[in-house]
């Protein structure tokens, strides 16, 4: 059954993040180990190489030969790609390539590997989720990432979004606030790089409060926020380069509007900010944007 853009792709049905973090949930987390499939990339990464997009069998054959990935999961990736095209959640040629080259199955939990290309979100532990492929694709394509762009991601999570971005630019910076989740995802990146996914070397990683961005690496051409908040964090807007774009879910908990923020500088030096809704008014649910206070993680930021 096809969900609509108002369907939950965030925290509904998932355990509370703070409860997991404060209750010593290591035993519970055994079920949330990443999948670590057996694929090994056979051909070194080439920015000029792209899988065939005109037929499913040709796509699968090319990916098996070049990426060593499972044909059954490749078939599911192709089928989801067709749905992305049909619903206009992906449209740029570079973004099509990035989606097709990113093995989403590597970033879900082991028990959910067969469900990796389903429409909706899936839990990954620590009270958070991997966002559904349609939302990831639309948010990323709305950024229009160029090869030379410097991109900041707030909320590393499963690592899928960063992996996707690393097929668009060699300058990806990703922040995760939950330290054990960050460490688990970093270990996954290392494993994937060792297996031949050299593009993931482009991902710079940091455990920090994403509300404040990554000041020492600013400015950024593009910023993507993967969790919901009720306002646009001023530090992120400040770290966005004039001419840059931010995509961010903004609104009350459980029901955000995914905004595209465009920052411009006029000839007289004045800065202006334009906003548009990438879902034309439909709401989407994301896990909450949280902050660090000492060693504790607190709830969604509120405007003072």
Task: Tell me: pLDDT of 6 over 50.
Answer: no
Delineate the domains of the chain, giving CATH numbers in brackets. 17-294 (3.40.50.150)
Tell me the pLDDT tens digit for each residue of 103-161.
Answer: 999 999 999 999 999 999 999 999 999 999 999 999 999 999 999 999 999 999 999 99
- Tell me: cis bond preceding 12? Omega within 30 of 0 counts: no
Q: What pLDDT does residue 251 have?
A: 94
- Residue 129 has φ and ψ, to the nearest 5°, of -135, 165
- Whether this model's pTM surpasses 0.95: no
Q: Above 50 in pLDDT, residue 97?
A: yes
The residues, any chain, with a CB within 8 Å of residue 304's CB and separated by 6 or more, are: none
Contact, 80 vs 117, CB < 8 A? Answer: yes
């Amino acid at each position: 059954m096809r969900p609509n853009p108002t369907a939950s792709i965030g925290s509904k049905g998932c355990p509370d993040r703070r409860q997991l973090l404060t209750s010593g949930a290591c035993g519970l987390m055994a079920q949330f180990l990443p999948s670590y499939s057996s694929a090994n990339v056979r051909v070194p990464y080439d920015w000029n190489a792209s899988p065939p997009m005109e037929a499913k069998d040709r796509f699968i054959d090319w990916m098996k030969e070049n990426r060593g990935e499972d044909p059954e999961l490749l078939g599911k990736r192709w089928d989801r790609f067709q749905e992305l095209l049909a619903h206009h959640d992906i449209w740029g040629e570079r973004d099509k390539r990035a989606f097709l080259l990113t093995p989403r199955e590597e970033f879900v939990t082991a028990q959910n590997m067969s469900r990796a290309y389903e429409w909706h979100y899936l839990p990954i532990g620590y009270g958070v989720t991997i966002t559904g492929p349609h939302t990831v694709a639309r948010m990323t394509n709305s950024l229009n990432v160029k090869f030379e762009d410097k991109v900041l991601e707030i909320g590393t999570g499963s690592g899928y979004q960063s992996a996707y971005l690393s097929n668009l630019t060699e300058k990806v910076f990703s922040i995760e606030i939950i330290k054990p989740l960050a460490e688990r995802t970093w270990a996954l990146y290392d494993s994937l790089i060792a297996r031949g996914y050299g593009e993931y070397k482009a991902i710079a990683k940091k455990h920090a409060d994403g509300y404040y961005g990554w000041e020492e690496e600013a400015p950024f051409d593009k910023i993507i926020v993967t969790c919901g908040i009720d306002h646009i964090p001023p530090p992120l807007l400040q770290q966005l380069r004039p001419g840059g774009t931010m995509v961010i879910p903004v609104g009350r908990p459980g029901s955000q509007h995914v905004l595209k923020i465009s920052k411009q500088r006029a000839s007289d030096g004045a800065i202006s900010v334009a906003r548009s809704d990438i879902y034309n008014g439909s709401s989407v649910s994301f896990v909450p944007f949280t902050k660090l206070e000492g060693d504790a993680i607190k709830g969604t930021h509120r405007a003072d």
